[in-house]
Amino acid sequence: MFRDLFHRIRQYRRQQRQQRANLDRTDAAALATQAQPDPTRLLLVRNDSIGDYLLYRPWLRRFSEVARGRGQRLTLLANAL
């Protein structure tokens, strides 16, 4: 009874290790096809409403100045409102 239980546990662990190894290979293959990050560009994502943007705007100006000072280009991705 215990031997069968231990066998099943070992089999489960072996399957889990195999699945993790397969995911690692899949992730590596997917990342290999992507373009390398460009250190001269920054993407800033904001997904909140217009009121939050108005409060955030002064900080965004300062962030943009710092990015330009470092020779980077800032792109803002935000809600259409």
* pLDDT tens-digit readout, 40-54: 999 988 877 767 777
Question: Around Cβ 42, how many Cβ atoms within 10 Å?
Answer: 16
Q: 60: exposed, middle or buried (C-beta count within 10 Å: 0-12, 13-18, 19+)?
A: middle
Full-model pTM: 0.48
Q: What is the pLDDT of residue 31?
A: 79
Summarize pLDDT for 10-68 with one digit per residue, the tens. 999 998 888 877 777 877 888 788 888 888 999 988 877 767 777 888 888 898 999 99
For residue 20, give the 3-state DSSP assignment.
Answer: helix
Q: Are 67 and 73 in contact (CB under 8 A)?
A: yes
Domains of the chain: which residue ranges? 1-34, 41-77
Q: What is the mean pLDDT of residues 5-9?
A: 88
Q: What is the pLDDT of residue 4?
A: 86
